[in-house]
Amino acid sequence: MSLGDWILTDAKVLTLLMSLLIPLPNANLGNDIAFCQGDSVVLNAGTGFASYQWSNNGNGLPGNWQPFNVKSSGMYSVTVANSYGCKSSSSLNVTVFSNPVVSLGNDTTFCQGNNLVLKAGNNLRHIIGQMVLASSTLTVTASNLYSVSVTDFNGCKGF
């Protein structure tokens, strides 16, 4: 009698064989993410797998670790395997935005009664001292120490 004969003729053997099927692992990195330069994100494919193989833009990364810390842009993928060698993969796109570059220029002197226009850049939210500015310029009429911090439309900051 062959195994095929047993499966067709014996419901108990069929039930036993079906219970031996191994469930596939389920890797899940989630949705695409973005953050500002200098920050990082931890990718987590899930726990309980026997192995993790990470790649960025199709290039395999050394190691077999979990979770995985990311500091640069790319298409990150992970392939996980359970102890039986069954595999599952997941990918997501990571975008790292550059921080805005800002400069008020060199230290400057001007004569009393005159003014100086400080320019911090365009398309940014500007803060000079404790003042939130609606524009990218500030006209100053008094000697003081002025600094600027800006936030771009991605939420990235420059100082």
Could you tell me if 103 and 80 lie in one domain? Answer: no
Residue 88 lies inside a defined structural domain of this protein: yes
pLDDT at 30: 95
**Whether residues 49 and 110 fall in one domain:** no
Both 46 and 33 in a single domain? yes
Note whether residue 55 is domain-resident. yes
Question: What local confidence, expressed as pLDDT, does residue 54 receive?
Answer: 95
DSSP letters along 42-104, please?
Answer: EE---SS-SEEEEEETTEE-S---SSEEE-S-EEEEEEEE-TT--EEEEEEEEEEEPPPP---
Regarding whether 86 and 60 lie in a shared domain, the answer is: yes
In a domain, 18, yes or no: no
**118 and 142 assigned to the same domain:** yes
Domain final residue pick, 95, 115, 134: 95
Residue ranges, the chain, pLDDT below 50: 1-8, 18
Q: What is the pLDDT of residue 2?
A: 45
Q: Are residues 32 and 90 in the same domain?
A: yes
- Does some domain include residue 159? yes
Cβ–Cβ < 8 Å for 23, 84: no
Q: What CATH number did the domain enclosing 78 receive?
A: 2.60.40.10
Number of domains the chain contains: 2
pLDDT at 105: 78
pLDDT of residue 43: 94
**Which residues form the domain of 81?**
25-95
